[in-house]
Amino acid sequence: MVLCPVIGKLLHKRVVLASASPRRQEILSNAGLRFEVVPSRFKEKLDKASFATPYGYAMETAKQKALEVATRMHQKDLRTPDVVIGADTIVTVGGLILEKPVDKQDAYRMLSRAQRCVKAVAIRHCSSQAAAHQVSEFYEETTLNVSPELSEEGCLEYIPSGEPMDKAGGYGIQALGGMLVESVHGDFLNVVGFPLNHFCKQLGELYYPPRPEDLRQPVRHDSIPAVDTFEDLSDVEGGGSEPAQRETGSRDEKAEVGAAGQATAEAECHRTGATLPPFPTRLLELLDGFKLSKALLTACKLKVFDWLKDEAPQRAPDIASKVDASVCGTEKLLDVCAAMGLLEKTEQGYSNTETANLYLASDSEYSLHGFMLQNNDVIWNLFTYLEFAIREGRNQHHRLLGKKVEDLFQDAYDRSPDTQLRFMQAMHGVAKLTARQVATAFDLSRFSSACDVGGCTGALARELAREYPRLQVTVFDLPDVVELAVHFQPAGPQAAQIHFAAGDFFRDPLPSAELYVLCRILHDWSDDKVHKLLSKVAESCKPGAGLLLVETLLDEKREVQGGLIQSLNMLVQTEGRERSRGEYQCLLELHGFHQVQVVHLEGVLDAMLATRVAP
Ligand SMILES: C[S@@+](CC[C@H](N)C(=O)[O-])C[C@H]1O[C@@H](n2cnc3c(N)ncnc32)[C@H](O)[C@@H]1O
C-alpha cells in the first residue's frame, strides 16, 4: 500500500536506484516505491580537496552515480529511465570526513566524539537528451551522540570486538556499537540507509506546491563545517571486512550495511526520545478533517454567517440566542470557525471574514449555502455508508432510504418542494461559480440556439446568453425542477434569451438546437444510460451541430485530490462515475461526434466541445 501520495507520483514511471545497498532498497520498497536496482559503476575518486565542504563532495558523487547509470542504461537498451536515484554517504567529525580507524587509539578518538552522518541524494529526471536531464538534490545530516559516561576503558573493551575497525566513524549503530550511542539527532533512517522523509519532501516540492509544514525543518547547509584535509575514502565506510566487495558495491553502500547491521529489531531496543519517528501532523489533520467539515456545515445550517453578515462584531451569547443554541456550544463552534479562517475573533466579538460573506451567507450572489446544506443533509449521511459503498461498488441511497432506488433523481430524494429546492440551490451555487468559465471555454458564436440538457436552474444558460447575445437557450429539465426554476431567474436583458422546457431526457424528445450542452450530467449515469442519452442527443443533431460536455476528466494533470474525491463521491451518490478523456472521446465518437477539443477549467471541471458529423 502506498501511504505517501507523492511516492504514488512515481508509480507509473521507470525508476532506477543506482545503488546495491540492501538497506536502501528495503527502505524505499517499504515506502511503496517500485524501482529497478542498477548499482552505479562510478569510481569514487573525486578530488576531495577541490570541494569546499564534505557535503559538496558527497553531492557530486551522488550526482555522478546517477549520471553513470542513466547513461549506461540509455546506451545499453536505448531506453532512458524516467528517474534515477543516486546517493552517497559520508561520516564527519569536526568537519573531517572519517575514515576507518588506523589503530585502536584512532578508534577511541573517533568513538568518543559526536559524529555526523551526511547522506547526499541526487534525483535525476531523465529525458532522451542527457543534456536536458534535470537533477534535484538534497542532503540530510544526522548527529550521533556517544554516551558521555563512555569511559576510555569501556571504549577499549569494545574495540577488540573488531567491529569499529572496519566502519567509518568507528562503530555500527545496529550492531554492538549501538550500545555506545546515547542519542540520535535527526532522521534515524538516514543513518540506517536512506533519508526517506527528506526524499518525500523533495518529491513533494517537485510534484505539489510546498506545504508550510514541509518547510518547517530548515536545511542545514551551514551546519557542515569546511574541510581542511581529506583522506582517501576508498577504504571507508565499507563494513570493510570484505574488501573484495569494493569492486561491485560502493563504500557508501557498505557503510550502510555496516551501520545498519541487523536493522529493525535492534533499532527498537536502542530507540530513545530523540529517535522517535516524526510527529504525524498531516495524518492527524486528515483524521480531523471530518470534524472540521461538520463544524462548517453546522454553522451554515444554523445560519451563523447570515447573522454576522455585514454586521458589527457580536459576542457568543448574542449569536447563541439568535441561532437558538446553547452559549457554551455556540462559543466552541464560533472558535473553530475562527480557527478555520471563516470568522474573525476580536475583543468586540466575532465577525464574518470575506470568505464567509461571499460564499457562506445564504443571500450572497455566489452563495454556496445550499451546497453546504445538501452536503449536511444528504451527502454526509450517504458517506456514513462509505464502507458499504466500497465493498459493494455502488451508491448507498437504498441503505439511507431503506428502499430500492431505480432512478437517482426521480426515486432517491423525496420530491417535496423543500428538498427539491435545496438540491437546486446546491447546483445553482456551484454552477454560478463555473458558468462563466464554461461559457467562454470555446468560441460558440457560430451557434444561434442551444439546449442545456439537465440545465437545472438556468445558471449556465444565463452566462451563455450574456456571452452570446444572439443565442437562444432552452433549459431542459424534469417538470418539478422547471417549476421551481423561476426562483432562480433574475430579471435582466438575458431573460428574453432563455426558455425552460420540461421533460425526461431518457424518454421525451429533446428541444431542437444547434448546440447541446451536457454539464455534469453524464457522470451521474451508468454506461447504458450514457449511451441512451448520447443517442438521443445525436438523433436531435444536424451535421455541424455542437455538443459541449462538461465533466471532471479523471486522468488530466491537475491537483489530484479534487478529482479523486469527486470520483469517490460519484460512487457513493450516483449510478455513474467520473471518466477519463479517452473514455469520453470514445463515447463521443461512437455517437458521431468528432473534432473533440478539451479545455481545463479552474477547479475540477473540464470542458469538451465536439461536432456532429453526418451519419
Ligand atoms: C447534477 S445536476 C447538473 C445540473 C446542471 N447541469 C449543472 O451543471 O449545474 C443534474 C441535472 O439533471 C437533471 N435530470 C436528472 N434526470 C433527468 C431526466 N431524466 N430528465 C431531465 N433532467 C434530468 C436534474 O434535475 C438536474 O438538474
Residues of the chain scoring pLDDT < 50: 1-2, 214-215, 217-249, 254, 257-261, 263
The pLDDT of residue 302 = 98
CA 453/CA 466 separation, integer angstroms: 18
Which of 411, 427, 457, 519 has the most ligand 1 atoms within 8 A of CB, as the residue to mutate?
427
The pLDDT of residue 116 = 80
CA of 593 to the centre of ligand 1 (A): 22
CA 19/CA 24 separation, integer angstroms: 8
The pLDDT of residue 613 = 94
Atom of ligand 1 nearest to the CA of 410: 16
The pLDDT of residue 1 = 44
The pLDDT of residue 225 = 34
Architecture of domain 418-612: 3-Layer(aba) Sandwich (3.40)
CA of 455 to the centre of ligand 1 (A): 6
pLDDT digit string, tens, across residues 216-235? 544 443 333 333 322 232 32
CA of 450 to the centre of ligand 1 (A): 16
Q: Is the Cβ–Cβ distance between 117 and 141 less than 8 Å?
A: yes
* 88 is known as an active-site residue: yes
CA-closest residue to ligand 1 atom 15: 409
The pLDDT of residue 480 = 93
Atom of ligand 1 nearest to the CA of 523: 1
SS3 452: strand
**Among residues 77, 82, 88, 335, which one is catalytic?**
88
CA 192/CA 211 separation, integer angstroms: 27
Q: Structural domain boundaries of the chain?
A: 7-207, 286-370, 418-612
CA 442/CA 509 separation, integer angstroms: 27
Q: Is the Cβ–Cβ distance between 461 and 488 less than 8 Å?
A: no
The pLDDT of residue 202 = 85
The pLDDT of residue 428 = 97
Atom of ligand 1 nearest to the CA of 505: 20
Going by C-alpha positions, the residue among 87, 51, 54 that lies closest to residue 69 is 87
DSSP string, 462-524: HHHHHH-TT-EEEEEE-HHHHHHGGGG---SGGGGGEEEEE--TTTSPPPP-SEEEEES-GGG
- For residues 524-539, one letter each, b for 16 or more C-beta atoms within 10 angstroms of the residue's C-beta and e for the rest, the string is bbeeebbeebbebbbe
Q: Is the Cβ–Cβ distance between 449 and 512 less than 8 Å?
A: yes
Which of 411, 457, 520 has the most ligand 1 atoms within 8 A of CB, as the residue to mutate?
520
CB count, 10 Å around CB of 544? 12
Please state which CATH number belongs to domain 7-207.
Answer: 3.90.950.10
Q: Which residues line ligand 1 (CB under 6 A)?
A: 409, 427, 431, 454-456, 477-478, 481, 504-506, 519-521, 524
Architecture of domain 286-370: Orthogonal Bundle (1.10)
- For residues 443-462, one letter each, b for 16 or more C-beta atoms within 10 angstroms of the residue's C-beta and e for the rest, the string is ebeebeebbbbbbbbbbbbb
CA-closest residue to ligand 1 atom 19: 504
CA 605/CA 436 separation, integer angstroms: 12
Cell of 452: 442545456
pLDDT digit string, tens, across residues 22-40? 889 889 988 888 889 999 9
Angle formed at CA 570 by CA 591 and CA 595, multiple of 5 degrees: 25
CA-closest residue to ligand 1 atom 20: 504
The pLDDT of residue 220 = 40
CA-closest residue to ligand 1 atom 16: 409
CA of 176 to the centre of ligand 1 (A): 70
Atom of ligand 1 nearest to the CA of 481: 25
Beta-sheet strands, E only, within 277-403 = 343-346, 349-352
Cell of 69: 547509470
pLDDT digit string, tens, across residues 406-416? 787 877 666 68
The pLDDT of residue 404 = 81
CA 531/CA 175 separation, integer angstroms: 65
Atom of ligand 1 nearest to the CA of 518: 6
The pLDDT of residue 77 = 67
Q: How many CA atoms lie within 13 A of 493 on its CB side?
A: 9
